[in-house]
Amino acid sequence: MSITIEGNVTGVMETFPLQLKVEANGVSHHVTLSDRTRVTFRGAAVDPGLIMPSTKVRIDGRGPAGSATALAAESIEIISA
Amino acid sequence: MAQDKHQKASSAGKSQEGRGGNEDGGGGSEADDPHKSVSSGGDQSGETTETGGEKESVADDFQGEMEKGELERVAGFDPSNALAEGQPASMVTDEMTSLRDADELIPEFTSIETVCGRDDRVRVSPCTAMPWRWICQLFITMPNGAGFRGTGWFIGPRCVMTAGHCVYSKANGGWARRIEVIPGMDAANRPYGSAVGTRFWSVTGWTNGENQNFDYGCIILPTPLGNTVGWFGFANLNDASLRGMIANNSGYAGDKPIGTQWFNSGTVTSLTAQKLYYMIDTYGGQSGSPMWRFANNQRHAVGIHAYGGCPNSSTRINAQVFNNMMSWRNL
């Protein structure tokens, strides 16, 4: 199931790849990055280490059936730091 | 005798079984105690005991059955770099006590990187001395097939501490399917081999609500690999002891060659009853790594690193965490 969310990062769990908590529309989402996740800022690819709490992001990913709050990120656009 | 040291623990002014004030607001009834420990096998502990208040509790480290007495040194680590970032770092020797107070320093918290300001990390190689061999690369496989790398550290013969999110992730299917633990990994070298853990513990505050304040857990190995390499001590220190304390961190950073261990140190810049904050450089892959104090030739972990963000943060080893670790380390 394809999912797009836009919200603010509330937690950066430092596994590798990272796992994020992202608050979007009042709902907390668990976002799992993979080594294929593309992270961009102003159109350029950047290191996922730039993602910080309070960073505003737009995330495209896929979620498992039956869960609206977990997604595996395919791309993350950093909207504002 | 080494075995005596395995069991050594002390609580200044109060026994481990004693109960005191609840400094964290994490107590309450047994049913809603967020520090109530739970395992991947469905086991649950009783209500956590609290030593609380200003009392400090300490469990000592164990050097392993191989060798003893190395000084802790990291070639190439320049403490002046960290000082320039407002963090008094040290070579992790007793000289740390002569460093200036954190209040005298000007923080430079301007970077938006998890590596905070200048990257002061230095590679530890080889990792066969203390405490580096106590620290482990983790290869984590979750039930949904997602794979992560993290860091853990021995606190007992078979017990490896780490972050709660390394052993349990609701979004990825719950308890980890398996975690390979490799102490002292150094690139392709596995000087002590590895062990695969399939039994894990955390607490309900993490497994039920994934509350960042309770993000800690452990891996129980099928073999007593800790008897070979040794393990960290750990301590529940009071606010006064922790504030401005020089803390050390070392873990398996994901932006570096796989299996390489990276060290950094600095001060605890702020704290709550359940978290420690610092500008010590970390990166993805270092979740679960130890934050430790080195003093009087003893290494006591005081936090479990878990989150990036400048300040980066760890779960504080408070009274409840300490008591769970005491229970878990002899499983």
Task: Provide the pLDDT for residue B216.
Answer: 98
The answer to whether residue B111 scores a pLDDT higher than 90 is no
Task: Provide the pLDDT for residue B56.
Answer: 87
Handedness of CA B38, B62, B277, A34 (dihedral sign): negative
Cβ-defined contact of A15 to B283 (cutoff 8 Å): no
* Bridge partner list, A44: A41
B8-12, B16-20, B256-260, range with the lowest pLDDT: B16-20
Q: Please indicate whether residue B165 is annotated as part of the active site.
A: yes
Cβ-defined contact of B308 to A67 (cutoff 8 Å): no
Query: By CA distance, what is A28's nearest residue in B?
Result: B210
Put simply, whether A13 touches B (Cβ < 8 Å) is yes
The answer to whether residue B203 scores a pLDDT higher than 50 is yes
Query: By CA distance, what is B213's nearest residue in A?
Result: A11
Answer for the pair B249, B305: CB distance below 8 angstroms, yes or no: yes
Longest CA–CA span in chain A (Å) reads: 33
Peptide bond connecting B107 to the previous residue in cis, omega within 30 degrees of 0: no
The answer to whether residue B52 scores a pLDDT higher than 60 is no
List the one residue out of A18, A14, A22, A16 whose CA is nearest residue A54.
A22
Task: Provide the pLDDT for residue B127.
Answer: 96
Task: Provide the pLDDT for residue B23.
Answer: 35
Q: Give CA–CA dist B189/B257, Å, rounded.
A: 12
List the one residue out of B237, B292, B247, B236 whose CA is nearest residue B269.
B247
Burial B117-156 (b: 16+ CB within 10 A, else e): bebbbbbbeebbebbbbbbbbbbbbbeeebebbbbbbbbb
Strands A70-80 and A38-41: what pairing?
A: parallel
Nearest residue, CB atoms, B307 vs list A11, A49, A69 = A11
Q: Give CA–CA dist B41/B73, Å, rounded.
A: 40
* Residues 6 or more apart whose Cβ sits within 8 Å of residue A26: none
Strands A27-32 and A70-80: what pairing?
A: parallel
Kindly state the average pLDDT of the residues A66-72: 84
In this structure, which amino acid lies at residue B330?
N
Q: How far is CA B331 from the centre of its chain?
A: 18
- The CA-based dihedral angle spanning residues B59, B297, B313, B304, taken in that order and rounded to the nearest 10 degrees: -40
Cβ-defined contact of A30 to B306 (cutoff 8 Å): no
Query: By CA distance, what is B148's nearest residue in A?
Result: A16
pLDDT tens, residue by residue, A2-52: 899 999 999 999 999 999 999 999 999 999 999 999 999 999 999 999 999
Kindly state the average pLDDT of the residues B141-147: 94
Q: With 0-12 CB in 10 A as exposed, 13-18 as middle and 19+ as buried, what is B97?
A: exposed
Task: Provide the pLDDT for residue A41.
Answer: 95
- SS3 label, residue A70: strand
Nearest residue, CB atoms, A14 vs list B113, B169, B284 = B284
The answer to whether residue B109 scores a pLDDT higher than 80 is no
Cβ-defined contact of B112 to A81 (cutoff 8 Å): yes
Q: Which of B11, B287, B289, B313 is catalytic?
A: B287
More confident residue, A59 or B81: A59
Tokens 């999110």 correspond to B165
pLDDT tens, residue by residue, B272-298: 999 999 999 899 999 999 999 998 889
The answer to whether residue B49 scores a pLDDT higher than 90 is no
Put simply, whether B284 touches A (Cβ < 8 Å) is yes
Cβ-defined contact of B112 to A12 (cutoff 8 Å): no
Residues of B whose CB is below 8 A from A81? 112
Residues of A whose CB is below 8 A from B285? 14-16
pLDDT tens, residue by residue, B179-192: 999 999 999 999 99
Q: Give CA–CA dist B116/B126, Å, rounded.
A: 26
The answer to whether residue B6 scores a pLDDT higher than 70 is no
The answer to whether residue A54 scores a pLDDT higher than 90 is yes
Residues of A whose CB is below 8 A from B315? none
Residue B139, CA distances (Å) to A62, B177, B195, B261, B309 in order? 23, 11, 11, 14, 23
Q: Please indicate whether residue B287 is annotated as part of the active site.
A: yes
What average pLDDT does chain B have? 80
Q: Which of B11, B37, B90, B165 is catalytic?
A: B165
Q: Give CA–CA dist B326/A49, Å, rounded.
A: 34
Cβ-defined contact of B284 to A67 (cutoff 8 Å): no
Put simply, whether A75 touches B (Cβ < 8 Å) is no
Q: With 0-12 CB in 10 A as exposed, 13-18 as middle and 19+ as buried, what is B184?
A: buried
Q: Which of A9, A13, A32, A42 would best serve as a mutation to test chain B binding (most B beta carbons within 10 A)?
A: A13
Tokens 């017990």 correspond to B159
The answer to whether residue A73 scores a pLDDT higher than 90 is yes
Task: Provide the pLDDT for residue B71.
Answer: 34
Cβ-defined contact of B285 to A16 (cutoff 8 Å): yes
Q: Which of A8, A12, A16, A52 would best serve as a mutation to test chain B binding (most B beta carbons within 10 A)?
A: A16
Task: Provide the pLDDT for residue B47.
Answer: 55
pLDDT tens, residue by residue, B146-163: 999 999 999 999 999 999
List the one residue out of B36, B17, B20, B88 whose CA is nearest residue B238.
B20
B89-98, B177-186, B265-274, range with the lowest pLDDT: B89-98
Q: What is the DSSP letter of A49?
A: G
The answer to whether residue B328 scores a pLDDT higher than 50 is yes
Put simply, whether A8 touches B (Cβ < 8 Å) is no
Q: Which of B172, B264, B277, B282 would best serve as a mutation to test chain A binding (most A beta carbons within 10 A)?
A: B172
Cβ-defined contact of B283 to A14 (cutoff 8 Å): yes
Q: Give CA–CA dist A47/B318, Å, rounded.
A: 34
Answer for the pair A18, A31: CB distance below 8 angstroms, yes or no: no
pLDDT tens, residue by residue, B62-80: 888 754 333 345 767 665 5
Task: Provide the pLDDT for residue B110.
Answer: 25
Task: Provide the pLDDT for residue B118.
Answer: 76
